[in-house]
Structure 1
Amino acid sequence: MGICNPGKIASTQWLSISLLLFCIITPGYALNPKSHITQFGHTAWRVQDGIFTGTPRTLAQTKDGYLWIGTTAGLVRFDGVRFSPWSPANGEKLPSKRINSLLGSTDGSLWIGTSVGLSRWQDNRLISYSDLHGVTTAIFEDRDKAVWAAISPSPSNTPLCQISDSAIHCYGTADGISPHRLWPIAKDGEGNFWIGGDELVRWNLKSHRSYEVIGAEHSNASVSSIIPGSDGSLWVGIDTKGPRFGLQRLAGGAWKPFVTPEFNGTTVAVNALLLDRDNALWVGTASNGIYRIYDGAVEHFSNADGLSSDFVYKFLEDAEGTVWAVTAKGIDNFRELKVTTFSTREGLAAEEVDSVFATHDGGIWVGGPSSLEVLRNSRISSVLAELHLSGAATSFLEDRTHRLWIGIDDTLTVYDGRKVQRIARSDGSPMGMVYSMTEDTAGDLWVETRGRLTRIRGLKAVEELRPPQVPSAFRVVADAKGGVWLGLANGDLAHYQNGHAETFHFRHSSDTRVEQLDVNADGSVVGATADGLVGWRNGTLATLTTQNGLPCDIAYASHFDRAENLWIYMQCGLVEIKKDQVQSWWQHPDAAVKYELFDVFDGAQPGRAPFGGVTRDSEGRLWFASGVVLQTVDPEHLLSNSVLPPVQVESIVADRRNYIPQLGLRLPPLTRNLEIDYTALSFVVPQKVYFRYKLEGRDESWQESGTRRQAFYTDLRPGNYRFRVMASNNDGIWNEQGATVAFSVAAAWYQTNLFRLFLLFTAIFIAWLLYQMRVRQIAKAISARFDERLAERTRLARELHDTFLQTLQGSKMVAEVALNGPADPVRMRNAIQRVLEWLDKAIHEGRAALHSLRSSTVMGNDLAEAFQRATEDCRLQGINEVSFVAEGISTEMHPIIRDEIYRIGYEAIRNACQHSEAGRLQVRLSYGADLALRVSDNGKGIEPKIVTLGKDGHYGLQGMRERAQRIGAKLLIESLPTSGTTLELIVPGHVVFQNPRSTWSSRLQKLTAFFRSPDNPA
C-alpha cells in the first residue's frame, strides 16, 4: 500500500478531489464503510488513567510514523504502545506548553502551534517564529508544500501567514481576511482557500467572498471545521446548534443543513469533521460524541459505547487508515477488524446466539433463547412473530426446494415462504429438541434429537433409530456417497447407511463430544471437539491438536470455505489452515501444520454455541455463533495491512545514561550494561508488531525478540558496532530495511592496542627470561650430574690407583725378579708364591671396590644393616674389636640423601679398616630429630694437615666433605696420633626424613637412648 497523507487531511481538514482519487487508487487498510461503527476495533486512552497530564486538544502524524498529541500541558509522542512526554533537546523550549494545533508536513517536520506562537521541529532542531506571536489556531500545508498558519489574535491584524524557508508573508483585512477568530483552513480542487471563523471566507490572492454564519440568536457561533466534498460542495461544521448551525453543507453558494429521518444535523454542535479515504464523513460534536455518515446512513458512537468523552476536538486518519479522535478526556482510535461481530449493539434481540444458518437468498438466520432473526444487508429483523412461532430456535436446514426447516424448542417446523407446517413423529408426538438436520442424496431429511435419529420423507417421519441401532449422536451431516455421518456424544465418528452403522474411535478425554460436523468436497469429514479435530478420509483416521502445532485444543466449530481452506473456531481464536496444509495433514497426521490465527485483536470472540455453530453463505462468507454474539469472516476478501511499519531506534541507554542515536555516537570505556530501545510505528494492532535485531560486531545471527522493544547487551568490548532492527506489522509484512544506528565503545587505557602491544612484548620478555632460567637450571642439573660422575670416577681412579693398581704393580715386580733367575727353582717357587699372594690381595681389593659400588641402599631403607655389613668386612681385615650400635627408630628417608650418607659412612669405615692400623672400631648410628653417624678408631690417626687439606692424589676426605655439603649435613673429623680418628656426620631431619618427627618425640628418643647407653654412670 502506498501512503497517502492522512495526517495532512486531518490536521488541515481539507480534501481535494485529486488527493481523494490518489487515496482511492492506492489500496489501504481503510475502515469498511459498510460496517457499523460499533463493529470497528475501538481503543480508548483516558486522562483519568494517568496517561496525559493535560487535556488532549489536537494530534498529527509525522512522516517517520509517530503520532503526536498536543495537550494543555505539553506535547506527547505515541508509538502505539508507549506515550512519551516530549521536550526539545539542548535546553530549548517551546513558546508555551499549551498546544493548540499540530501538523506533520511532507518534509518530515512537526509544526507546533501553541497559545503564544509557532515552532517547527525538524532534524532534532527547534525553530521558533518570534514574529508570529499569538494563538496558532490552525496549521495547513497546501499542494505546493507551502505551510499556512492562522494566528489569532494577530498583533498586526494579519492573521493568515504563509511560511517558507526564505520568508514569512501574512495576509489580513486589506486582503479580504477578517482579523477576528480564525480556526479551520482548507483548500478545494480549484485552488481556493476556505477559511473559517466568525464567518466563512472563500479566498485566493485575486478574489474573496464571505458567507455569513452568525444569526441574531447566536452572536458567538463560528465555523469549527471545513471539508471540501468530491462533488464541489463544502461540508461545514459550526460549533453551535440551531437552524443555520450544526452540520451544514454549502453548495452553489447556499446553505443546506444535513437532515435525514434518522439524524438532524442542526441539533448538534460540531467541533470536527473528517472525510476518510472511503468517503465516509466523521462528525465530532461538543456533547453528542461521534456521528458517521456514509451513503445517507448515519451511525452514532458516544461515551455510552466506550468513547472517552462526548466532547470531540479533532479527527485524524493515519497512514494505515485508522481513524483517531481527540476528546476532552483522552484519545480514541477506530480500526477495521478481520472478524466482524453482530451483537445487541447492531440490532440482535438478545445477548445469546445459539445457532446460525445461511439461506440461498443471502439471509442469515439467527436463533436465540427466545428469538428468531434474519440478517440481510447488515439489517436485522425479527421473524418469530411473523411466522407465528414462539420459543428458542435451535437448528436450521434449507432443503433442495428452498424450504426452511426450523427447530423451535421441541418442535420441528417447515416454512416454504408462505405458510408454516409442523412436523411430528410417527406417533404424532412432538419431534423433540432438534440439535442438527441434514438432507441426504435421496432427498430424505435426517433429524438428530438427543440421541434419536429420525428420517423424514415427504414431510412425514418414516424411520426412527435409537441406540444400539445407531450410536448416541449430537450432529448429523449427509455423505455425498450415500448415508449420513454422525458426530457422537463420546467424541467419535460414525457412518450410517442401509441399516448398518460403523463407528470410528479416536483418542480423547472422557468429557468430549462432537460439537460440529462438516464434510468437504473431497469426501473427508471433520468434527470439532474439546480435544481438537477428529477426521476421516478414505479410511484414514486423523486428529489435529496442539501436537500438530495448533495454538489450542478446544474447538467449537469448523468449516471449509469455497477454496477448501479449513477454518476452526477455537477457544484461542479463529484459525485458518490453507488447503495444501490440510492435504499434508491427511498424508502425515502427526506432522505440524502452518496456520493463521485471528485472535481478540482481530475481533474474534470465540465461544460454544449449543446447536448450529457455523454456516457459509452464498458469497462465501463464514458465520459463527459463539453463544454470545454472531461473528463473520470473509475468506475471499480478507483485509491485509501492506503498509511497511516505519522502524525507529529511539534511545541508547549505557549504564543508566541516555544517549540520542546519532552519527558518530561514542560510548564511554568500560560500558557494562547497554539497552537499546526501538519501536515500529504500526497502529492497527501494535500488540502484533514483531521485531528482530542484530548487533553487527557481536551477534552472529538475527535475534527474534517477539514484541519486546528493547535489546540488552553486557560487557561489550571496545570497538565499532552497528545495530540493525526490522519489524513486521500485524499481518506479518516485514520492513526488512528497518532502522540502523552505528556507535562505538571507547577503550580504556589498558584496552588500547598500544597497551596490548606492551603486554605482548612483556609476555615475550618474561617467556624469554623463564626460558633462560630453565636452560640454566637444566645446565646446572647436568653439570651437577657430570660433577657427581666425575667425583665418582675420581674416587674409583684413586682407589684403583692406591690399591688394585699398586698390588698389580707389585706382582709385576715379583714376576720380573723371578724371571731374572729362572734356573733357581727355589727362588722361582718363592716368587710365584709371592705373586699368588699379591694376586689374592688384588682380587680382594677389586672386590672391595665393587662392593663399595654395589652396596647402595637405594633398594632398601635400612642404613643400620648396610653399615653392619661394612663393619663385618673390617673384622675380616684384621681389626680385632669391631662394634656397631644403632639407636632410635628407623624412619623412611629420601633415597638420594640416604645413599650419600652411606657413601660417607662407608668411606670412613673403609679408611679406618685399611689405613688406621687400629685394633678397635666403633660405629654408632642415631635416629632422632636429626640423623647422626659416628665412626671412631684407636689407630695411628691422621696428620692435621691432611685432615684440613687432604693428601695429594687421594680424594677420600675431599669426597666426603663434598657429599656432606651437597646434602646440607655437618661433617666433623677429629684425629690425634695417640687416640685415633673420629668422624661425626649430622644430617638435619627435615632434609633426610620424608616424614619429619615431632620435637617431643625426638627428645623422648634421645632421653631413652641416654638411659640405655652403657656409658651412663647411673
Structure 2
Amino acid sequence: MSCAGAADIDHGAYWRSGLLQTGWSKKDGAPSSVFSMTQDSAGMIWFAASDGLYHFDGARFERTDQIDGHKLLSPVTMCVDAFGDQLWVGYQYGGVSVFEHGAVRHYRQAQGVPEVTIQHFGKMPGGMMWFSSGKGMHWLDGAMWRHAGAADGLPDGPTAAFNILPDGGMVVYFPDGLYQSAPNSHRFRRVLQQEGVEGGELRPDGTLLINSQQHGMQIFNPVTAAVAPFALHNGHLPMMGYASDRRGALWVSVGNGIQLLDREQRPLKTFTPAQGLVGKGFGSMLDDREGNMWLATEAGINRVRETRLTSIDLPVGMDAPSVVAGNDGAIWVNNLFTQGNLRHPTISIAADGTRSNTSMVRVSASYRQADGSAWFAADRALWRWQGARAQSWNKPAALLDNDVQAMAMDTQGTLWLSIIRHGIYGFRDGDWRPRNGRDDLPRMTAVSLLADTKGSVWFGYTQNHLARLENDRIRQFGAEDGLAVGNVLAMSRRGERLWLGGELGAAYFDGRRFVALRDSNGNHFRGVSGIVETADGELWLHDADGLVRIAARDLAAAVVDADGARVASERFDYLDGHDGTPSQIRPLPTLVAGSDGKLWYFTTSTVGWIDPAHIQRNPLAPTPAVTALRTAGRVYLAPAAGLALPAHTDNLEFDFTAAALTIPERVRFRYRLIGLDSGWREAGAARQAFYTNLGPGDYRFEVMAANEDGVWSSTAAATAFRIAPSLTQTVWFRLGCGLAAVAALWLLYRWRVAAAMARVGERLQERATERERIARTLHDTFLQSVQALILRFDVIKKRLPAADPVQEQIEQALKAADDVIIEGRDQLMDLRIASAYVGDLRKALADVGAQLEAQHGVAFLMDVSGTPRKLAPDVQIEAFAIGREALVNAFRHGGGSPVRMALDYTALTFTMSITDSGPGIDATVLAAQHRPGHWGLVGMRERADRAGGTLDIISAPGAGTQVRLTIGVRMPGELFKKPLFRRTPAKAA
C-alpha cells in the first residue's frame, strides 16, 4: 500500500477518457515481481524487485548493483523510496542504505536495523524518517534506528502498511486496528479497533480508504475517527487489490485486468492483457511528476498516460465512421458500411456526452450549413436537421443505388452534391437538377466540394483537376497551374487563401498559382483528407500519419522557393493517441471544426477530438545526466568531475540520458565537448556521443535535453576530465624536439656556410693561380721585352751625337717606357697580392706600408681598434687592393707627410681609413672622380662596390687627403653569397 506523504497529494483534474497504455516485460529489460517504485529528484523511476534494483529513464530499463560507484548491501531489494535528493533502499534480509550526492550511508544491525524484510519508508514533514518491517515500526534517531513498541503505544508484531497524514502525523495498520500519532511524533494511540484491516490509501480530501475481508471497503476520517462504508460500482467484478492516485481516482485489480473508476466509482477505463496490459493485476502503483500512472504487475511494468487526442467509444462494428458538427458543441457520428444485418444509425452526441440514435443509416456524406443546420446524404434520402427538427427528401429513383460523395451549399441556398457515377447535382426545395443546369461543368464525379463565403463554388476532382464557379463563369485548373496534390480530397477557405489537400500533399492558391506546402525538412504531407483553418489563423491538416498543426506565425514565416512553401509544424500521431487510417475515398472530409472550437477527426477505426485552445503540454524540463564514459579499455559509470584518463586515450564514447517519461520517443539532446567543439551538436533522439583523435588536455563534456514540447533543461549535465599526455606529447618533449630542430638547422647552416666558404676559397684559389700565371707571363715576356727595347733604345741614344735633336725625342720615349714598366709592375703586384695576403688583412697592409716607408723615406703609422676579425675572402681581397692603392697614392703624392692607416672593427661595420697631410687632390679631379689618363680612383670605387661597401675620398687644397672604406654586415641570407666576417680562431687572435 502507498505510504505517500501529504506533499504528494494533488487535487488535479480527473482522468480524461483519452488514455494510452504501454507495457514492458522481461524481453524489454523490465523487472517483474516489483515490490516498490519511486521517482527521484531527477525524474528517474526506481524499482525494487526480487532480482535487484532497476531504474528507468523512459527509454531503457537498467539493473544496477551500485549507485554512484557505491555497491548495494544486497541484490535482493524490497523497498526503494526517494525524499528530495536522497534515495533510500531496503533489503529483504535487513539493512538500509541511503544514497545522496555521490555518497552512501549503510545501516545494519549495529545501527538498530533488524535482520528482517524492510517493507516501506516514510518521512514526516518535520523530517523524521520511518520504515516498516517484519518487526514493526522503526524511526531514525540521529545515527540509530529506534523501535516504536509498547512504550510508544504500538503493539508488538509485524506491520507492512502505514500512511503519512496531511497534518504530519501517521496512521499504522496492525491486525487489531489503526494506530495514529501526533504530527512529527513517535507516540501512538489506537484510533480504530477493528480486526482484519489490511491497509489503507490516502485520498485527496485527507480521508483514508481502508479495506478488510470482514468489513469490506470503508472510509476512515483521521480527524474524527469516523468510519463509513464505501461502495464500488464496477460490475460486481472481484477486487484483488486497489490504490488511490493523486487525482482521487481509484485503480482496482479485478483478477484479469485493471479498472480505472470514475468519480462515482464506475469503470471509466479497463485495461486487459488483450489490450496490451503486461500481467493481470498490479502489486504497486506510482504517480510520476509528469502525470503518468505506473503499475507494476507480476509480469512487468505498465504506464498509463493521457493522450493529447481524445477518442470516444464507438458501438461495436462501427468501422467506417464520419463526423459532422452540430450546435452547442454537439456532433453527429455517422456510419457508412454495414456488416450483415448490423446497420448502425447516425448518433447524436451532446456536449455533455449524452447520446441518442437517429433513424438515418448508411450516411455517406454530411455537411454543416452556416446557420447550424446539418445535412446528411443517407441510404435512400437526403436529410436536414435544424436543432431537434428533421426533414427528409427521397432520392430520385435513378440515384438510389449510388452514394453521395460530397456536399456544399452556396450563398444562394443551393445545395451542390457530387454523386458517384452521376456527377454534380443541384438541390433546392426538393428539386434535383443534373449539373445544376451548368453544361460547362466537367461531367466527372467530384471528390470534394467547397462553397466559400465569397460566392464561389469549388469542385475537386482526381488527378490534379480543379474547377471554380465564380461570377457565372467556370475556370478549370490543373498541373499547368502548379496543382500537384493528386486526388483533391479536402478543401478549406476561411481567409484569403484556398487550401487543398490530396493524396500527394497539401497546397494553397495564391490567386495565380498553387503553391505546395511542405514541412521544415522539405517533406510533403501525405494523404491529406481534412483541412481546417481556425479563427486564430492556425492551419490543421489530417493526413495519413495523424494531425498536423501549423501556427499562424509559422505560416507567416513560411519560406517560399521553387519547391513550394516550407513551414514549421507540430505533429500529433500514434504517440498522441491517433489510431487507424483516415479515409482516402469517402466519407470526406476527415477533419471538421465543432461549434465549440474543438476539432473532430475520424479514421477507419476511431473518432476523436482535440481542443486547439487547450492542448495538453508538459512544462517540466527533463534533467539530463551523463551515465558513462567509455574508452577502449575501460568504462567509467557516472563519471565524476576531475577524472584523469591515461595517455594515448584518443577515442571516447559518452552515454547520457534524461528522465522524460511521457513521450520519451520525442526527447531531443544536444551536446558539446569544451576543449574541442566550438558550439552545440544536435544529437536528435540518440543518447550517445563519439569522439575520435583527441589529444591530451583538459575537457568538459556537457549535454542538455528537451522534452516532447521542446522545453529544454535549464542547466547542462557535465563531466570534466583530463587526458594525460604521453612522453612524446609533453611540453618538454616538444621543446626538446624544437631545440633539436633548431640545433639541426644551425648545424645545417654552419655546414652550408662552410661549404659555401670552401667553394669561395676554391674559386679564389683558382683566380689566384690564374693571376699568378698571367703575372709570370707578363713578367717573363711582355715586361722583359719592353725592358729589352728600352736597353736597345738607350744604346741607340748613346751612339747619336749629343746635339742631335733626336736625343730629346728618344729621351721622352724612354721616360714613357719607364712609366709603362712601372704601371706594368703595379699591375703585376695587383695580380699577385690576392694570393700573397689572403690570410691576414691587417698584416698584409702593414707589410705594404713598411715597404713604402722604406722606399719613400716617409713615416708610416697604423692603428687597429675593436676586435680584429677575418673578412670573407672576396671582401678581404677588395679591401686589401683598395688599401694598397690608397697607401701608394699617399706615399707618392702626400708631400712627404706621415701616412696614417686606421682599421676599426665593430659588431656591424668594418672601416678602413688612410690619411696624409699633403697638398691634397685637385678639385677638378675630385669632381670628375678620376685623374685624366689614370684609373686608380675609379678602380678603388669599383672594388668598394663589389665588396658591398662605400668609398669616401675627403680632400681639400693644402689640407691633405683621407680615403675611407666602410663595409656593413650583410643580411643573413646573403652570407652564403658574399659573407663579410669569418671568426678568427683563438690561437690566431
Q: TM (normalized to structure 1)? A: 0.72
Q: Is the Cα contact below 8 Å between 1:434 and 1:448 reproduced in 2?
A: yes
1:614 corresponding residue in structure 2: 591
Residue identity in the other structure for 1:323: M
Q: Is the Cα contact below 8 Å between 2:364 and 2:404 reproduced in 1?
A: yes
Q: What per-residue deviation string (whole Å, max 9, x for no partner) do you get for residues 245-282 of structure 1?
A: 3x4433565655543544447x3121x41322x33233
Partner residue of 1:634 out of 597, 600, 611: 611
CA distance in structure 2 between the partners assigned to 1:712 and 1:745 by the alignment: 16
Pairing 1:712-723 to 2, within 5 Å after superposition: 712-723=690-701
Deviation at 1:605, TM superposition (A): 3.6
2:116 corresponding residue in structure 1: 134
1:291 corresponding residue in structure 2: 260
2:710 corresponding residue in structure 1: 732
Q: What per-residue deviation string (whole Å, max 9, x for no partner) do you get for residues 997-1016 of structure 1?
A: xxxxxxxxxxxxxxxxxxxx
Mark the CA change 1:351 to 1:330 in structure 2 (over 3 Å): closer, same or farther: farther
Question: SS of the counterpart of 1:100?
Answer: strand
2:317 corresponding residue in structure 1: 350
- 1:453 paired with 2:441, answer no
CA distance in structure 1 between the partners assigned to 2:793 and 2:545 by the alignment: 124
Q: What per-residue deviation string (whole Å, max 9, x for no partner) do you get for residues 206-238 of structure 1?
A: 552254554xxxxxx6524x2223444311255
2:408 corresponding residue in structure 1: 438
CA distance in structure 2 between the partners assigned to 1:393 and 1:586 by the alignment: 41
Q: Is the Cα contact below 8 Å between 2:483 and 2:514 reproduced in 1?
A: no
Q: Is the Cα contact below 8 Å between 1:425 and 1:460 reproduced in 2?
A: no
Partner residue of 1:68 out of 43, 46, 49: 46
1:97 corresponding residue in structure 2: 75
- 1:182 paired with 2:192, answer no
- 1:469 paired with 2:445, answer no
Mark the CA change 1:564 to 1:754 in structure 2 (over 3 Å): closer, same or farther: same
1:526 corresponding residue in structure 2: 499
Q: Is the Cα contact below 8 Å between 2:2 and 2:163 reproduced in 1?
A: yes
Residue identity in the other structure for 1:597: R
Partner residue of 2:329 out of 362, 365, 390: 362
Question: SS of the counterpart of 2:160?
Answer: strand
Pairing 1:805-816 to 2, within 5 Å after superposition: 805-816=783-794
Pairing 1:215-614 to 2, within 5 Å after superposition: 223-224=198-199, 226-238=200-212, 244-245=215-216, 247-251=217-221, 253=225, 255-264=227-236, 267-270=238-241, 272-276=242-246, 278-284=247-253, 287-299=256-268, 300-342=270-312, 346-350=313-317, 352-368=319-335, 369-370=337-338, 371=344, 372-377=346-351, 379=353, 381=355, 383=357, 386-387=358-359, 389-390=360-361, 392-399=362-369, 402-409=372-379, 411-416=381-386, 421-424=391-394, 429-430=399-400, 432-450=402-420, 452-462=423-433, 464-465=435-436, 468-470=440-442, 472=444, 473-497=446-470, 499-506=472-479, 512-520=486-494, 522-539=495-512, 541-545=514-518, 549-550=522-523, 552-585=525-558, 590-605=564-579, 607-609=581-583, 610-612=586-588, 613-614=590-591
Structure 2 residue runs without a partner (length 5+)? 339-343, 825-989
Mark the CA change 1:52 to 1:455 in structure 2 (over 3 Å): closer, same or farther: closer
Residue identity in the other structure for 2:505: G
Question: SS of the counterpart of 1:806?
Answer: helix
Mark the CA change 1:284 to 1:103 in structure 2 (over 3 Å): closer, same or farther: farther
Q: Is the Cα contact below 8 Å between 1:357 and 1:614 reproduced in 2?
A: no
Deviation at 1:491, TM superposition (A): 2.7
CA distance in structure 2 between the partners assigned to 1:666 and 1:393 by the alignment: 73
1:653 corresponding residue in structure 2: 630
CA distance in structure 2 between the partners assigned to 1:333 and 1:164 by the alignment: 37
Question: SS of the counterpart of 2:364?
Answer: strand
Mark the CA change 1:823 to 1:799 in structure 2 (over 3 Å): closer, same or farther: same
CA distance in structure 1 between the partners assigned to 2:555 and 2:390 by the alignment: 41
Q: Is the Cα contact below 8 Å between 2:294 and 2:304 reproduced in 1?
A: yes
1:701 corresponding residue in structure 2: 679
2:104 corresponding residue in structure 1: 125
Q: Is the Cα contact below 8 Å between 1:95 and 1:116 reproduced in 2?
A: no
Question: SS of the counterpart of 1:393?
Answer: coil
Mark the CA change 1:380 to 1:573 in structure 2 (over 3 Å): closer, same or farther: same
Deviation at 1:573, TM superposition (A): 3.4
Deviation at 1:119, TM superposition (A): 2.3
CA distance in structure 2 between the partners assigned to 1:743 and 1:572 by the alignment: 45
Q: TM (normalized to structure 2)? A: 0.74
Mark the CA change 1:550 to 1:785 in structure 2 (over 3 Å): closer, same or farther: same
Pairing 1:26-175 to 2, within 5 Å after superposition: 33-36=14-17, 39-47=18-26, 49=27, 51-52=29-30, 55-88=33-66, 93-122=71-100, 123-130=102-109, 131-132=112-113, 133-152=115-134, 154=135, 159-175=136-152
Deviation at 1:606, TM superposition (A): 6.3
CA distance in structure 1 between the partners assigned to 2:628 and 2:754 by the alignment: 61
Q: What per-residue deviation string (whole Å, max 9, x for no partner) do you get for residues 6-49 of structure 1?
A: xxxxx843453x754xx45xxxxx7x63522xx323221112x1
Residue identity in the other structure for 1:367: N
Residue identity in the other structure for 2:249: A
Deviation at 1:301, TM superposition (A): 1.7
Deviation at 1:404, TM superposition (A): 3.0
Q: State the number of aligned residues.
A: 789
Q: Is the Cα contact below 8 Å between 1:223 and 1:236 reproduced in 2?
A: yes
Deviation at 1:666, TM superposition (A): 0.9
CA distance in structure 2 between the partners assigned to 1:704 and 1:717 by the alignment: 23
Mark the CA change 1:119 to 1:163 in structure 2 (over 3 Å): closer, same or farther: same
Q: What per-residue deviation string (whole Å, max 9, x for no partner) do you get for residues 875-929 of structure 1?
A: xxxxxxxxxxxxxxxxxxxxxxxxxxxxxxxxxxxxxxxxxxxxxxxxxxxxxxx
Deviation at 1:819, TM superposition (A): 2.7
Deviation at 1:734, TM superposition (A): 0.7
Deviation at 1:400, TM superposition (A): 5.1
Residue identity in the other structure for 2:490: Q
Deviation at 1:341, TM superposition (A): 2.9
Residue identity in the other structure for 1:33: Y
1:193 corresponding residue in structure 2: 170
CA distance in structure 1 between the partners assigned to 2:54 and 2:655 by the alignment: 18
- 1:208 paired with 2:189, answer yes
Q: What per-residue deviation string (whole Å, max 9, x for no partner) do you get for residues 925-957 of structure 1?
A: xxxxxxxxxxxxxxxxxxxxxxxxxxxxxxxxx
Deviation at 1:559, TM superposition (A): 1.0
1:745 corresponding residue in structure 2: 723
Q: Is the Cα contact below 8 Å between 1:432 and 1:449 reproduced in 2?
A: yes
Deviation at 1:90, TM superposition (A): 9.7
Mark the CA change 1:557 to 1:149 in structure 2 (over 3 Å): closer, same or farther: same
Structure 1 residue runs without a partner (length 5+)? 1-10, 25-29, 215-220, 847-1018
Q: Is the Cα contact below 8 Å between 1:348 and 1:380 reproduced in 2?
A: no
CA distance in structure 1 between the partners assigned to 2:756 and 2:605 by the alignment: 93
Partner residue of 2:668 out of 690, 693, 709: 690
1:882 corresponding residue in structure 2: none
CA distance in structure 1 between the partners assigned to 2:613 and 2:32 by the alignment: 45
Mark the CA change 1:349 to 1:439 in structure 2 (over 3 Å): closer, same or farther: farther
Deviation at 1:733, TM superposition (A): 0.6
Deviation at 1:587, TM superposition (A): 8.0
Mark the CA change 1:294 to 1:15 in structure 2 (over 3 Å): closer, same or farther: farther
Q: Is the Cα contact below 8 Å between 2:125 and 2:168 reproduced in 1?
A: no
- Between stretches 538-547 and 450-459, larger displacement belongs to 538-547
Partner residue of 2:659 out of 681, 696, 707: 681
